[in-house]
Structure 1
Amino acid sequence: MDALTATLSLLRLEGIGPSLYWQLVEQFGSAEAALRQPATQFPRKLPARARSQLGEYQRLGCDSELAQWALAERQRCVENCIYLLHCDDESYPSLLRQIERPPPVLYITGDPLALSLPQIAVVGARRASRAGLDNAEAFSADLAAAGFAITSGLALGVDAMAHKGALRGAGKTTAVLGTGVDRVYPQRNAALAEQILESGGALVSEMPLATAPEPGNFPRRNRIISGLSLGILLVEAAVRSGSLITARLALEQNREVFAIPGSVHNPMARGCHHMIKNGAHLVETSADIVAELGGLLSGMAQQPSLFEQVADSGPNLPLEQRNLIVALGGDPRSIEQLARDTGGDTGELMASLLHMELEGLVEQLPGGYQLTGSGAKALAGLVE
């Protein structure tokens, strides 16, 4: 039995995850050798079903339930044009192989070579602010134009905007799933997943085909997102969030971690501030990231930052909108504060803010307004 079939068979045993898999391989030398050991030799007690499966494998070999499932899984992958990469395969991503107990097997839809491109992970909140979503898309587009592939988790919010930004920057992007690669989740991002594949990117998972989106799968996939990447950009995140777990994993994996600071009044900025206090690089433009990691893109021309290309948006705005943008600055402001700072009439200010909201320059929050990413660019143009 070859290494891939033996690995799939061992992982199919009930109660075997990547951690116990690697303990067994380290103890016995290979997945096939582990499958031939008595259950009493395993470092932890197996469930009754797993002991039954293991005993049957040792009696029947390739005719056992475990081996038959592994062979059928391989055939399903062939029929659906899904690549299976064993951790000992030369094509297995070298950065991912370096992490502690990497995925023994990767399922890949799309181009497997996309996983070996220099990658930056972009992660953040599902319920990010408009400014956070704008930043995720703009930074990702800029980094993709500079030659980096963008890695994220295909979730709603920041993840989806990161993938979209990479596509807008004419780059490649990899989506790491917490489901089987044949079961895109969330379903509303199915069209985005197709665009990722059409652009030469990839969907990747360590989960068997048809795996459902169980909550426990997503912390596991986070180590793959960070493990594939040279560095990770945290856009917005609460202090207790999956995105912050990914950032912490990146630090443990000796990856560079970057975080965009935000308003002290924004709870979604607290995770970024926490990581900055604990060693993450504070970044204000994508050029900060390119300056840190761009040397790894030997021979590739770096594109100017989207945030340096302000496009003179300030002077083209009506005077009242320019005044509002300056008054908003970097923090959320109430309508009363804006009226006081600009000297404007409340009714007229609300009309201007409505127009600016429709133009994507501001967003409304409970009790006030704040600039979006586009609004922040306009502010940069006004204060230069």
Structure 2
Amino acid sequence: MTTADLPTGDTAPILDADELRAWLRLAHAKGLRPLALRTLLGAFGGPREVLSESFASLAETADARAAEAVLAPPEDIEGVQFDDYIEAVLAWASERGNHILTLADATYPRALLTMPDPPPLLYAKGRLDLLQVRAVAIVGSRHATPQGLEDARRFARALSDAGLSVVSGLALGIDASAHRGALEGATGTVSVIGTGADLVYPAAHHTLAHEIARDGAILAEWPLGTPARSANFPQRNRLIAGMSSGVLIVEAAMRSGSLITARLANEMGRDVFAIPGSIHAPLSQGCHRLIKQGAKLVETPEEVLEEFGFPPATARAATAAAKRAKPRPVSASWASASSAGVECPISGDAGRVLGALGHAPATLEILAMRTDLDGAALQGALLQLELSGHVAALGGGRYAAVERS
């Protein structure tokens, strides 16, 4: 799925062909580490100046490996000859809302400049102003529970309403909910992706990517045309951490990629927050591990905002606004009652089942044991709860209560 038809926002000056050639040649030079390139740029002033230096001068400033990488002939990029790739990038950057950002640009994200080895070149779509706004990352499991999805959306909306940009990775699950919540808030969201900026991954998020390109920003360091590769996503996580003042983990298993983001954030001196959960829930184990290692346990968006220095009144107001805006799941079977402001009461077998669910997902067997209901009665109660939006069915025959305000 491509992003060629995505709506976009700002228009920025386009690099001339020679300058773009120099930046791309260095940005994609095999074996040239970002830290070494930053050293060379600091010493010689710009990419064209670096490319005009002798091997001895480059090696003395950085090292022999860096000098060899700089002076090597440019290679194909994603199977496209270098000169043809230059033309493709120029064409892409000429489209409204598409941007090529280099370390020399004032629009390059300032937060990334605090990293020792920021990417020399970035591909961006959408609002460049959001790249300079103080941000918090919200990440978590791709296989999130309904409660986790709602928590991500609620926290993101409150943080966005308070003036923070929300950064995430456009993945299924928690990432997508965080993006949607931030778009509902006042500030917006930045999606850092692990593919080329001309692609949408996963394809199911094409509509969401439209919304982010229009009202937020999409950021990539990979060349145009780069498909989704598992090896690229830890690097994507590094940029998510670098873009943010802190990282909030909503749900994560013990081997979750979100824990990589948290570790990278900690190494960069960013705050790490985690939402706790049931000791029986697999997607709480990663969060609990982070808390044991020193992450800040948070239960409300106010706690995150206060850690960032927001006055308590501002934090409370943002959280209250997010709660007021919280969408309620509506089913056709009870839409008329809901629209009238009257919610169907939960009693009888359905009430017993809802009470038995508690705060952690449960299987039919567990619910039958807790409620003493037979199969037909239990299934009927669960159906009623699903239709009213109080319960969601998960994979593996499990059910979870949905928090409602």
Establish whether TM, by shorter chain, passes 0.5.
yes
Identity fraction in percent: 39
1:201-220 mapped onto 2 (5 Å cutoff): 201-220=216-235
Q: Which residue of 2 aligns with 1:103?
A: 119
Q: Which residue of 1 aligns with 2:289?
A: 274
The one-letter code sitting in structure 1 at the alignment partner of 2:381 is S
- 1:210-248 CA distance string (max 9 Å, x none): 222222221111111111112111111122222111111
Mean Cα displacement is larger for which, 263-272 or 299-308?
299-308
Aligned mate of 1:53, from 73, 81, 87:
73
Q: Which residue of 2 aligns with 1:254?
A: 269
- Gaps (5+ residues) in structure 2? 1-15, 76-80, 329-340
Aligned mate of 2:166, from 132, 135, 150:
150
Q: Which residue of 2 aligns with 1:38?
A: 55
- 1:239 paired with 2:268, answer no
CA distance in 2, matches of 1:224, 1:338: 43
The one-letter code sitting in structure 2 at the alignment partner of 1:234 is I
Q: Do the aligned partners of 1:234 and 1:259 also contact (CA within 8 Å) in 2? A: yes
- 1:300-347 CA distance string (max 9 Å, x none): 963427569999999943354343333322234444544454455553
Q: Do the aligned partners of 1:325 and 1:371 also contact (CA within 8 Å) in 2? A: no
Please state whether the residue corresponding to 1:216 is helix, strand or coil.
helix
Q: Which residue of 2 aligns with 1:302?
A: 318
- 1:272-322 CA distance string (max 9 Å, x none): 111111111111222221222252899896342756999999994335434
Q: Which residue of 1 aligns with 2:10?
A: none
TM-score norm. by structure 2 comes to 0.77
1:8 shift after superposition: 1.9
1:1-384 mapped onto 2 (5 Å cutoff): 5-22=21-38, 24-25=40-41, 30-35=46-51, 36-38=53-55, 41=59, 43=63, 45=65, 52-53=72-73, 70=86, 73-79=89-95, 81-198=97-214, 200-293=215-308, 295=310, 302-304=318-320, 306=322, 316-342=345-371, 344-364=373-393, 369-372=398-401, 374=402, 376-377=403-404
- Relative to structure 1, the CA distance from residue 230 to residue 88 in structure 2 (aligned partners, 3 Å threshold; closer, same or farther) is same
Mean Cα displacement is larger for which, 339-348 or 266-275?
339-348
- Relative to structure 1, the CA distance from residue 283 to residue 314 in structure 2 (aligned partners, 3 Å threshold; closer, same or farther) is farther
CA distance in 1, matches of 2:132, 2:43: 30
- 1:65-104 CA distance string (max 9 Å, x none): 8688557634531245411222232222222210121111
Q: Which residue of 2 aligns with 1:59?
A: none
CA distance in 2, matches of 1:24, 1:239: 40
Q: Do the aligned partners of 1:153 and 1:176 also contact (CA within 8 Å) in 2? A: yes
Q: Do the aligned partners of 2:36 and 2:66 also contact (CA within 8 Å) in 1? A: no
CA distance in 2, matches of 1:298, 1:91: 32
1:144 shift after superposition: 2.1
CA distance in 2, matches of 1:298, 1:265: 35
Please state whether the residue corresponding to 2:252 is helix, strand or coil.
coil
Please state whether the residue corresponding to 2:380 is helix, strand or coil.
helix
Q: Do the aligned partners of 2:26 and 2:47 also contact (CA within 8 Å) in 1? A: yes
Q: Do the aligned partners of 1:233 and 1:259 also contact (CA within 8 Å) in 2? A: yes
TM-score norm. by structure 1 comes to 0.81
- Relative to structure 1, the CA distance from residue 169 to residue 309 in structure 2 (aligned partners, 3 Å threshold; closer, same or farther) is closer
Q: Do the aligned partners of 1:362 and 1:369 also contact (CA within 8 Å) in 2? A: no
1:13 shift after superposition: 2.2
- 1:191-212 CA distance string (max 9 Å, x none): 11111122x2111111222222
The one-letter code sitting in structure 2 at the alignment partner of 1:353 is L
- 1:85-128 CA distance string (max 9 Å, x none): 22232222222210121111221111111111222211111122
Q: Which residue of 1 aligns with 2:8?
A: none
Q: Do the aligned partners of 2:25 and 2:74 also contact (CA within 8 Å) in 1? A: no
CA distance in 1, matches of 2:83, 2:396: 60
- Relative to structure 1, the CA distance from residue 340 to residue 241 in structure 2 (aligned partners, 3 Å threshold; closer, same or farther) is closer
CA distance in 2, matches of 1:38, 1:72: 30
CA distance in 1, matches of 2:210, 2:395: 36
Mean Cα displacement is larger for which, 99-108 or 18-27?
18-27
